[in-house]
Amino acid sequence: FPAARRRRTQDVVRAIREQGSWWRAGGPMLARVVAAAVLALAAVVASASAAAAGDATYPVRWEVGYMTVAPLGVSQKVIAINNQFPGPLLNVTTNWNVRVNVQNNLDEPLLLTWDGIQMRMNSWQDGVAGTNCPIPPGWNWTYQFQLKDQIGSFFYFPSLGLQRAAGGYGPVTVNNRAIVPVPFNQPDGDITLFIGDWYTKSHTELRDMLDDGKDLGIPDGILINAKGPCRYDTTLVPEGLQYEIVGVEPGKTYCFRVHNVGTSTSLNFRIQNHNMRLVEAEGTYTYQQNYTNLDIHVGQSYSFLVSMDQNASTDYYIVASPRFVSSEARWHDVNGVAILQYSNSKGSASGPLPDAPDDFYDKYYSMNQARSIRMNVSSGAARPNPQGSFRYGSINITQTFVLKNESPLRIDGKRRRTINRVSYSPPETPLRLADLHNLTGVYKTDFPTMPSNAPPRRASSVLNASYKGFLEMVFQNNETDVQTYHLDGYSFFVVGMDYGEWTPNSRGSYNKWDAISRSTTQVFPGGWTAVLVSLDNVGIWNIRAEKLDNWYNGQEVYVKVADPLGYNVTEMIAPDNTLYCGLLEHLQKPQIHETSKKSSGHAVARWSTQLLATVSLIVTAVIGS
């Protein structure tokens, strides 16, 4: 033992010696063993307690339930977390371990997914139907994952059955470690804004509409941080609506983290009379440039630096307005409007809203804006080495998937969405669990990697990808509205986009140096978007349309990235608290429901006390013998 531990051992031995007559019968060696065991166990306890209390672990408990609000003046039931809508912030740092104990107080099953969090080698925590059985009503489950090598602005949301259309979403901010410099000065404040279209119908009513083959139609409004618009137009906005007010100080610079968490509408975001300097997109620091407005599509996240450099003669409008929608007049009445308010403001905002892009005759306006978002190749991110040090443009492509969506198709009498004419049908048993337990027939790896004119079908069909391969994915959008696609488990390089049909010759236009790396990308109407991704994350990962109505109607697929060396080589093992359903339901044990709302740090403390008490009893028993 080191000297300090040896002295503590001697103290314990002395105490034991004073208590037991057995010492005189030849117990010194046993006493030393017992003392060493006590100290070793105490060290383990102290280490566990430190891990729970220290910066490396972030434990939270969330109660997910309903609450009644009226963001657009109509009372409705929304999904809240700890009675908050939007939900609480996860403010964490690269490589921290996160433990989120989720109590499901809804009247239906629940899963939370973590948009953009890569769950390295750990698809067990991804929170989608292909990898997890849902948390039944009244049950709780603990997500446990590490934010390995990530920074940036992300969000979580409920992934089942259109639940996000009722709320349940919240922010995830992953900060740099102190050893990695940020490529801009520390902002004076951090502001999160959730923008999104909103319906006054419940998510169950919206589900029924889709099940009946109907469109959801024009939303009832656009919310900013779960609040309706300020009364910028007395003929359009009723009195009494709560709206978001962002308070700021003159001369300061703030980081605005903006997420489109809506159901299906692309939005243009702008702040009246203020430039927005883009600095980060879904985990990648960007080449810094100013925008007066930016199109943010469903599921996308951006971080801007905004300087308070105006004279504050009035408040200023913060606007989220619909983009790429029909010419129906009612769309013009649907705007999300919040207020930017300087502390020395001299009056309320008034007058017309700042103009949206006037690009009716310039279909490349938004596309060129998207192409301008590029990676800052000289900056570090989660690691000190520059983001541009991974020279993706020089890596040979090993697989190509061309994934084509088209207008809704009739399959078995139902109106469905498809990719390559396959409408995904989720099996009752999650795909990854089926593999783990060697179940056959749950799904097939026969998803077509290229479009065809085959008859449309519903299927539990999966894409098979090669571990450590370099995958090219092309999203081909043959519809008249913007599509948004997300890939769990990865970030991809958005190397190209254009109108028309993609061909192999399109590779000549790829950005092979500083393409933005992100997890969600738009695909313009009648166009294509190409991404490249290094398949270094074992698991089964969801590729989905972020538009909730399309996702619900089958516009998704899973990609299987298996390690040929087998299970538990590179992939993390299935957690002890795995939930079972479908063909594996018989493995599910009854749950003893937690009632304590204390963090796992308190749980470790209780466990520590119980363990030390047990050790004391053992020592007492030995002495007494």
Of the candidates 548, 543, 550, 542, which has an alpha carbon nearest to the alpha carbon of residue 529? 543
Asked whether the predicted pLDDT for residue 597 surpasses 60, the reply is no
Total number of domains constituting the chain: 1
What's the rounded mean pLDDT across residues 102-131? Answer: 98
Token pair recorded at residue 125: 């925590």
What's the rounded mean pLDDT across residues 29-51? Answer: 40
Query: Can you tell me which residue has the tokens 């978002």?
Result: 373
Query: Can you tell me which residue has the tokens 């795909």?
Result: 431
Q: What is the pTM of this model?
A: 0.87
Q: Calculate what percentage of the chain has a pLDDT beyond 90.
A: 83
Helical residues (DSSP H) of 142-218, grouped into ranges: 203-211
Does 481 reside within a domain?
Answer: yes
What's the rounded mean pLDDT across residues 198-204? Answer: 98
Q: How far apart are CA 224 and CA 258, in angstroms?
A: 10
Q: What is the pLDDT of residue 567?
A: 86
Token pair recorded at residue 439: 């179940």
Asked whether the predicted pLDDT for residue 425 surpasses 60, the reply is yes
Contact 69, 85 (CB under 8 A): yes
Q: How far apart are CA 547 and CA 542, in angstroms?
A: 14
Q: What is the pLDDT of residue 8?
A: 43
Q: What is the CATH number of the domain that holds 523?
A: 2.60.40.420
User: Where in the sequence is the domain holding 520, given as residue range(s)?
Assistant: 392-585
Q: What is the pLDDT of residue 114?
A: 98
Asked whether the predicted pLDDT for residue 18 surpasses 60, the reply is no
Q: What is the pLDDT of residue 10?
A: 44
Q: What is the pLDDT of residue 566?
A: 86
Spatial neighbors of 10 by CB under 8 A, at least 6 apart, are: none
pLDDT, one tens digit per residue, over 529-540 is: 999 999 999 999
Q: How far apart are CA 547 and CA 165, in angstroms?
A: 10
Q: What is the pLDDT of residue 520?
A: 98
pLDDT, one tens digit per residue, over 55-102 is: 489 999 999 999 999 999 999 999 999 999 999 999 999 999 999 999
pLDDT, one tens digit per residue, over 251-288 is: 999 999 999 999 999 999 999 999 999 999 999 999 99
Does 580 reside within a domain?
Answer: yes
Does 103 reside within a domain?
Answer: no
For 242-245, the CB contacts below 8 A with 24+ separation are 242/71, 243/337, 243/338, 243/339, 244/193, 244/318, 244/338, 244/339, 245/338, 245/339, 245/341
Q: What is the pLDDT of residue 273?
A: 97
Does 536 reside within a domain?
Answer: yes
- Dihedral, 191, 196, 198, 204 alpha carbons, nearest 10: -100
Token pair recorded at residue 111: 């899963």
Does 441 reside within a domain?
Answer: yes
Q: What is the pLDDT of residue 591?
A: 82
Q: What is the pLDDT of residue 593?
A: 62
Q: Which helix (H) or strand (E) holds 403?
A: strand 399-405
Helix 3-19 × helix 28-53 angle, to 10°: 120
Asked whether the predicted pLDDT for residue 607 surpasses 90, the reply is no
CA atoms within 13 A on the CB side of 619: 22
Token pair recorded at residue 71: 């963001």
Q: How far apart are CA 283 and CA 486, in angstroms?
A: 14
Exposure string over 53-86, b if 16+ CB within 10 A, otherwise e: eeeebbbbbbbbbbeebebbeeebebbbbbeebb
Query: Can you tell me which residue has the tokens 């396959």?
Result: 422
Asked whether the predicted pLDDT for residue 407 surpasses 80, the reply is yes
What's the rounded mean pLDDT across residues 611-616? Answer: 42
Asked whether the predicted pLDDT for residue 183 surpasses 80, the reply is yes
Exposure string over 181-211, b if 16+ CB within 10 A, otherwise e: ebbbeebeebbbbbbbbbbebbbeebbebbe
Does 404 reside within a domain?
Answer: yes
Of the candidates 431, 416, 456, which has an alpha carbon nearest to the alpha carbon of residue 550? 416
Asked whether the predicted pLDDT for residue 610 surpasses 50, the reply is no
DSSP string computed for 20-46: -GGGGGT-HHHHHHHHHHHHHHHHHHH
- Dihedral, 350, 243, 484, 212 alpha carbons, nearest 10: -120
Of the candidates 544, 515, 546, 548, which has an alpha carbon nearest to the alpha carbon of residue 532? 515
Asked whether the predicted pLDDT for residue 38 surpasses 50, the reply is no
Q: What is the pLDDT of residue 556?
A: 98
Does 107 reside within a domain?
Answer: no
Does 23 reside within a domain?
Answer: no
Asked whether the predicted pLDDT for residue 151 surpasses 50, the reply is yes
Helix or strand or coil: residue 456?
A: coil
pLDDT, one tens digit per residue, over 444-486 is: 999 999 999 999 999 999 999 999 999 999 999 999 999 999 9
Confidence label for 12 from pLDDT (cuts 50, 70 and 90): very low
Q: Which amino acid is at 17?
A: R
Among 184-198, 308-322, 333-347, 592-606, the minimum mean pLDDT is found in 592-606
Whole-number average pLDDT of the chain: 89
What's the rounded mean pLDDT across residues 502-514? Answer: 98
What number of residues does the chain have? 625
Helix or strand or coil: residue 586?
A: helix
